Amino acid sequence: MTLQDLQLKHAGRLADAIAAVACRGYHSAYPEDPTHPAYADGSRAAGEAAVRAAWTQRDGAIRGEERSAFGAPFDTAYADEPVDAVLARAEAAAPAWAALDPVERAAVALEILEALQQRAFEMAFACMHACGQPFAMAFQAGTAHALDRALEAVAIAVREMGAYPARVLWEKPDARRPLRVEKTFEILPRGIAAVIGCATFPTWNSYPGLFASLVTGNPVVVKPHPTAVLPLALCVDTARSVLAGLGFDADVVQLLVDTRAAPKTKALALDARVKLIDFTGGPEFGDWLESHARQAHVFTEKAGVNAVLIESTGDYPGLVRNLALTLSLYSAQMCTTPQSIYLPRAGIRLQDGMTKTVEDFKADLAAAVAKLVADPVRAIELLGAIQSDATEARAVEAASIGEPVFASRRLAHPDLPDAVLRTPALYAVPPEALDTIAREHFGPISLLIVTEDADAALRHAHEVTRSRGAITWSVYSNDEAFVRRAKNAAADAGVHLTLDMTGPVLVNQSAAFSDLHVSGHNAAGNAALCDTAFVLPRFRVLQTRRYLAA
């Protein structure tokens, strides 16, 4: 297939995506339902079998860091390559890739996305086992939604690069004769891009940076988290296969694997050849990258302390159901899950003039969570499994941080005895306990904070967000004056605001082509998925001028 054929094949999907990022309405190019006809050529059984085969492949020197969160045997092995060798190959592949027209690179990127979609079940099972996601979430977030986020980044990049014409004739009127200058504009990639993956959502968080860098002409080195390599290894394998099949150097995209005992990330990040870094992970290493990788533009999504502020509501049962589901989903191993839940001491005002007391709310939320997780066989489809030993240890140790509203407990699954399943926990802590509140407790741990009134809660959440960052605030209120104050406080803290979530949409969820994930305006991260600022630093525009004599 020629590049022209490839452009024609994907032109409609790319045009639709560019239109979608302009209007910010609902758009999805990759169905999230595994029974959709788009996935008719694959099968769930074949996808799982492919992942199980990957567990036992032994063609590599690095092994032993991955495990299945559901207890299945994991014995993956990967090549142990020096950072310098990988970067040297990326340098060699760069010129030919940069020489392509941006729309040509976009067509190749969309061909890779299509090939990834064809491996949807395989990728879903890889994310399920490596990350502990329930299968439905692994299919949606790990495959369909991740592909949509990648396409969104490609669309924004193509739009922004297309803002510059390849050639223009500049003519300035003059009394004697017009001044004429021929000008050309060339997209100049920045250099090698490094994508540093996380353990819980390796595809969803890595695809935007990977494909934004790729389509703007930069070769990409993907460095997965040592405990969640397989999903990104499948991605890189797919990309390299497509590139090679189209006649390009496969080293435009490479995998770099390390272990926690012998890490390579710092050497990669500090190499002068690396000009772009996308990082998802904890604030300590994210802060280090921002401070030390000075030769590169660093895009970070780190962590924050997300808040729920309840002043009043017109749908109390819906609020409780929504919040119970939000706290339970994937055992709160999501960077968007709320940690701090603020209540006014006088309780929650209802639309009918009644009030739910703090004790009422505690009991109602505890009952709603208990109902969701009562049956371990059904609960696993909501909770998933705990991804890491550190998260499990944190959940156990959290029992001492406050008064238990409802405590976390292990669930025993009859068919998965080695899976670590854990229910969410909520602990009441006083607002004065800032050391506890202003610290992320990643995993199934949330804090109930009772303040003098709703405005005191707003001030408290604002202080925490300004110092530690947040990705989401969720506010419930029937009082438009309070809503305005909440909007102003959220804007000042640089955090995205969600209002009155009482239906099936959760604050945890973020829709490609519409929602912005992270604001880039507080300590939770310096980049947003996906806005123009996420794409523009990945290329520069080089101008050439030629004076045309009369």
- Does 332 lie in the same domain as 263? no
- Does 355 lie in the same domain as 286? no
Looking at residue 517, the DSSP 8-state letter turns out to be B
Looking at the domain assignment, is residue 279 inside a domain?
A: yes
- Does 479 lie in the same domain as 400? yes
What is residue 417's predicted lDDT score, i.e. its pLDDT? 86
Helix (H, G, I), strand (E, B) or coil at 377: helix
Q: What is the pLDDT of residues 379-415, one digit of tens each?
A: 999 999 999 999 999 999 998 999 999 999 999 888 8
In 197-328, DSSP assigns E strands to 220-223, 253-255, 274-280, 297-301, 307-310, 312-313
- Does 279 lie in the same domain as 133? yes
Count of domains forming the chain? 2
Q: Are 349 and 409 in contact (CB under 8 A)?
A: no
Q: What is the pLDDT of residues 358-385, one digit of tens each?
A: 999 999 999 999 999 998 888 999 999 9
Looking at the domain assignment, is residue 100 inside a domain?
A: yes
| Distance in angstroms (rounded) separating the CA atoms of residues 428 and 449 | 6
Q: How far apart, in Å, are the Cα atoms of 242 and each of 6, 107, 115, 159, 185?
A: 12, 11, 8, 24, 29
Q: Which of 366, 369, 448, 332 is nearest to 401 (CA)?
A: 448
Q: Rounded mean pLDDT of 301-319?
A: 96
Instruction: Report the chain's C-alpha Rg in angstroms.
Output: 25
Looking at the domain assignment, is residue 518 inside a domain?
A: no
Looking at the domain assignment, is residue 316 inside a domain?
A: yes
In 431-529, DSSP assigns E strands to 445-451, 472-476, 496-499
Q: Which of 526, 529, 527, 498 is nearest to 513 (CA)?
A: 529
Q: What is the pLDDT of residues 37-84, one digit of tens each?
A: 988 777 888 898 888 888 776 677 787 688 889 887 777 889 999 999
Looking at the domain assignment, is residue 521 inside a domain?
A: no
Degrees (nearest 5) of the Cα angle 516, 472, 523?
90
- Does 320 lie in the same domain as 335? yes
Q: Are 218 and 190 in contact (CB under 8 A)?
A: yes
Degrees (nearest 5) of the Cα angle 61, 219, 235?
55
Beta bridge partners of 341: 308, 448
Q: How far apart, in Å, are the Cα atoms of 33 and each of 36, 38, 39, 40, 329?
A: 5, 9, 9, 11, 18
CATH of the domain at 429: 3.40.309.10
- Does 289 lie in the same domain as 219? yes
Q: Is the pTM of this model over 0.85?
A: yes
Q: Rounded mean pLDDT of 299-320?
A: 97
- Does 476 lie in the same domain as 387? yes
Looking at the domain assignment, is residue 511 inside a domain?
A: no
- Does 331 lie in the same domain as 393? yes
- Does 326 lie in the same domain as 258? no
Looking at the domain assignment, is residue 512 inside a domain?
A: no
CATH of the domain at 213: 3.40.605.10
Looking at the domain assignment, is residue 317 inside a domain?
A: yes
- Does 231 lie in the same domain as 200? yes
Instruction: For residue 404, give its domain range.
Output: 307-499
- Does 298 lie in the same domain as 311? no
Alpha-helical regions (H) of 373-437:
376-383, 389-397, 434-437
| Distance in angstroms (rounded) separating the CA atoms of residues 263 and 182 | 51
- Does 206 lie in the same domain as 143? yes
